[in-house]
Amino acid sequence: MHEFRGSREESQARGSGAGGALIPAAYLLSGFCALIYENVWIHDFSLVFGSTVHALAVVVAVFLGGLAMGSRLFARLSIRTLRPVRLYGWLEIGIGLYALVVPALVSASDALYARLPAVTSVLGAASLPALTLARIGVAAAVLLLPTVLMGGTLPILVRHMVTHLDRSARGPGLLYGVNAVGAALGSFAAGYLLLEHLGVAGTNGVAAGLNIGIGIVALLLSARTPPVPAAAQQVRSNRSTQTASSTVALATICFALSGFVSMAYQVIFLRHLTFFLQDTIHLYSGIITVFVSGIGIGSLAGARLPWLERSPVAAFGWLQAGIGVTTIGALFAPVLVVQPLVGLRDMGGFPVLLVMAALLGMPTLMMGAIFPAVARIVIREAALAGESVGRAYAWNTAGSIAGTLTAGFILFPWLGLQTALVLLFALNMMVAATLLRTHAGNWRRAAVLPLALLVSFPLGTALLPGIRLPRALLERLMGPGGRIVDVREGITGTTWVVRSGEDDVSLLENGVVIGRRGRGSWVVAGFVPLLIAEDIPRRVLALAFGAGLSTLPARLFDEVEQLDLVDISRDNMEAALAHIPENRDLSADPRVRLLVDDAYSYLKRTPERYQHIFVEPTPPMFSFRNASLYSREFYALARDHLPEEGTFAQVLPLRQLSPHEIWSIMRTFAAVFPHRLLWWNHLDAVMVGCASPFHLDADRIARRINRPAVQAALKHYSPVGQYEFHGQFLAGLLLDSADFAAMAARGNIYTDDRLGLKFSTGMETGFAGIDTLHTSLTPWPQLQRTFPGLVQPDLPGPELATRREELMVLCYRSDPQRFTAAYLRYVELYSRRKKEDLDILIRYLDERGLQAEAARIREQKRQIR
């Protein structure tokens, strides 16, 4: 090995002093911007491709692919550059300038994507490979250039930093580490601060401005930095030595495999933690923050370890073994403390960050420490440092792309979590054993240890089926009283079915109940818009199919000629068809089409038109990607697929939203639909919107309710609301169009650019929204003036108002204290049969074991004359 012959003064100018401090600081900010861009661009393309896992993986793959290509391309250019800092400055300026035009390019790509054959083919018939290729092509056309420039920054700066072989681990380790720490800060800032407060466009602008500023500073600094001596002749004379080293080749291959395993583990951790913690943007940003910051700190620490400098091959091997062992421990440890972790859901983002740091700290630190070890192995000539590191980093990034795609699209749906872990752990141990065996000296004998671990882990899980994931975890989450009857590990998540009794069947995805047969609110929500429509719609679209319960009402009306059911998860649909009795004959119904697609994307691309559209997405506090289904743009898409008299209905999950979120959803809804109503639906409410005025008629509604099939369904699914009586159903009308708008005026309008609902955490949810709604109900005299068809001799306004108060009180049933207070208020102000109504409250309290409270109400009942 030869030492690069630069003067000590030149070395110090490049590696220390003001310039030496500014270069790492600049590269930290560069990483900060890169992760902001990734968050922004994933959001932008989710509106083009939809929020499916396939589509998001394409964007991530293109992003990483650009980094790999840039690293490889600029690795070669680094040899010939004499002023790497100046070239780095121009790269940063190029990234920033290009980022400013990305929004316009994404908008143009949306129009291009819509015209591609794979997208415009018969709906539901387009093959996934063709669609994926179309998405890769469109995303690459927009994102490849800036990501190639990003990938080029590392080898260029390594060329500047590494002037002596004794710095071949420290210099690259420092650069890689500070860049990763900056990236972690960027992920945190995007997910916790910038996107929420500045919007997507504002956040993109901040990152672009920072990039341009970094570039200008680098250009100014380059004027004060001596040029790197020409290395072309030295490169030509030593290149054969550089490339022929078997150790370098082995280290590069193992580095690629390490990237594969590490990214696969990240995908697994993200899926795994959604069982305990809500799938908020804070979880998504938080896991990237913890993962990347651990890698950065590990690289910075590893670069200063003398052992790593002396024995980099052995260090690489031991780190690989350590990653496997600590990752398996981090994945199985939460199974032992399920309930405390679940309790963190209501504590906000920072406790969640601490938990993730505790779980991921050790494996990610080891992942980061690998980089300086690899740099020490592959750099054989200081003049070739940029090329050597760039080549290795390109292979590592290529492995990361493969790991991301393989984990999500192959390991989970084809093999399942447990088998995936066995294979990844085995790969860790095989890489570790190979490296230790390659290293000369006493470490060769230690290669038997990772091989022993390779055998022990799968053997242990085979002998102890009670620890197999994810079933072992799901059984602890479920608790007593339920039985898991089906588990499906798919691309979009883990779907499972729990049977708690003969008729109580629940469908869950990633720990969130998306349908439960024992509760009627899902079915009743689907009845509301159909019962009040002037004409039963012939063509109906139901988005976010879930368990399919809310689609049952449409199937009970013969007037419905076409019923399109859309859900993002094929596994959810198949599980619902197999285990929810209401769906028993669904696939045989000639009116029904089952379509797997993202709801937003479907509306954006389909040419179909409908008379009625219904959507009941999982509340954003449980799945932040569903926030786009409450935006002004989404509502406008729905309106464009309806005729003037067509209706759009969406469940408003009162208990899973803060008051401001409720008002903002209503205001956004009102901004698109000039006529709207809010109807009671057990624990929630249903928003119904239309471009033309509503004409409610009590006789027409009664005729529909009295149909035998509808009567039977309402008696079964609405035992509390008693919607089989048309007077009780009419009492569910809470707000007319004017009062809907008045209540909504307190909120903001959600747009795709400023989608505050995406940051819903559940911290301010509860009964406050129901309280506000309760005090804002439209007076019944006003409703009867607005809708003359409601005036009936057998349904006087005071009686309907009384019934409505009773319905509102039922919204508090899940909280005995609030329910008791609200019910007593109802009895005092409205009830004409106080003793009978108090008996209902007493039975409610007795069922919940609240004997003392029940005794107090009995005493109060005895005092009534």
Q: 8-463: what CATH class?
A: mainly alpha
pLDDT of residue 834: 82
User: What pLDDT sits at residue 844?
Assistant: 85
CA atoms of 745 and 670, how far apart (whole Å): 9
Highest mean pLDDT among 193-202, 668-677, 849-858: 668-677
pTM recorded for the entire structure: 0.90
Q: What is the mean pLDDT of the chain?
A: 87
> In which band, very low, low, confident or very high, does the pLDDT at 863 lie, cut at 50, 70 and 90?
confident
3-state DSSP assignment of residue 32: helix
- At residue 348, the pLDDT reads 60
**Using CA atoms, how far apart are residues 251 and 313, in angstroms rounded to an integer?**
8
Task: Identify the three-state secondary structure at position 614.
Answer: strand
Q: What is the pLDDT of residue 338?
A: 74
Judging by beta carbons within 10 Å of its beta carbon (0-12, 13-18, 19+), is residue 169 exposed, middle or buried?
buried
The DSSP result for 169-234, as a single string, is: THHHHHHHHHHHHHHHHHHHHIIIIIHHHHHHHHHHHHHHHHHHHHHHHHHHHHTTSPPPPP-HHH
- State how far the Cα of 540 lies from the Cα of 535, in Å rounded to an integer: 12
In this prediction, residue 8 carries a pLDDT of 41
Q: What is the pLDDT of residue 241?
A: 47
d(CA 228, CA 462): 58
Question: Which residue carries 């159903």 as its tokens?
Answer: 729
pLDDT digits (tens, 9 = 90+) for 184-243: 999 999 998 999 999 999 999 999 999 999 999 999 998 888 877 665 444 444 444 444
Tell me what pLDDT residue 167 has: 55
| pLDDT band per the 50, 70, 90 thresholds, residue 12 | very low
How many angstroms separate the CA atoms of 516 and 497, rounded? 10
Which one has a higher pLDDT value, 240 or 406? Answer: 406
Query: pLDDT higher for 228 or 498?
Result: 498
Q: For residue 865, give every residue at least 6 positions away whose Cβ sits within 8 Å of its Cβ, in sequence order, or none.
A: none
pLDDT of residue 792: 77
| Confidence band of 18 (pLDDT split at 50, 70, 90) | very low
**Of the listed ranges 28-42, 578-592, 642-656, 850-864, the one predicted with least confidence:** 850-864
CA distance 694 to 649: 13
Enumerate residues 6+ apart whose C-beta is below 8 A from 546. Answer: 507, 514, 515, 522, 567, 572, 576, 616, 618
Token pair for 624: 């932040």
Weakest-pLDDT range from 61-75, 133-147, 239-253, 579-593: 239-253
Q: Which residue has the tokens 């409601």?
A: 790
Confidence label for 384 from pLDDT (cuts 50, 70 and 90): confident
Which range, 166-170, 445-449, 527-531, 603-607, is most confident? 527-531
The predicted-structure confidence for 784-833, as pLDDT tens digits, reads as follows 899 988 877 777 778 888 889 888 888 888 888 888 888 888 888 777 77
Average pLDDT of span 346-371: 85
- Give the model's confidence band at 124: pLDDT under 50 very low, under 70 low, under 90 confident, else very high: very low
Q: Say whether domain 518-720+735-778 belongs to CATH 3.40.50.150.
A: yes
Compute φ and ψ for 515, nearest 5 degrees: 180, 135
Specify which of 265-269, 453-457, 607-611, 802-806 reaches the highest per-range mean pLDDT.
607-611
pLDDT band at 393 (very low <50, low <70, confident <90, very high): very high
Structure confidence at residue 277 (pLDDT): 79
pLDDT tens digits, 613-633: 999 999 998 888 899 999 999
Share of the chain above pLDDT 70, in %: 91
**Predicted pLDDT at 120:** 59
pLDDT of amino acid 3? 36
Residue 725 pLDDT: 92
For strand 562-567 and strand 539-543, is the pairing parallel, antiparallel, or unpaired? parallel
Residue-range domain boundaries for the chain: 8-463, 481-513, 518-720+735-778, 812-865
What pLDDT does 118 receive?
Answer: 66
**What mean pLDDT is predicted for residues 119-127?**
53
pLDDT above 50 for 117: yes
Evaluate if residue 15 carries a pLDDT over 80.
Answer: no
Residue 300: predicted pLDDT: 92
Per-residue model confidence (pLDDT) at position 20: 63
pLDDT digits (tens, 9 = 90+) for 265-299: 998 888 888 887 778 888 888 889 999 999 999 99
**Predicted pLDDT of residue 239:** 46
Task: Tell me the pLDDT band of 672, cut-offs 50, 70 and 90.
Answer: very high
| Predicted confidence (pLDDT) at residue 121 exceeds the cutoff of 70 | no
pLDDT digits (tens, 9 = 90+) for 534-577: 999 999 999 999 999 999 999 999 999 999 999 999 999 999 99
Range scoring the smallest mean pLDDT among 46-50, 143-147, 483-487, 781-785: 46-50
- What does the pLDDT read at residue 441? 62
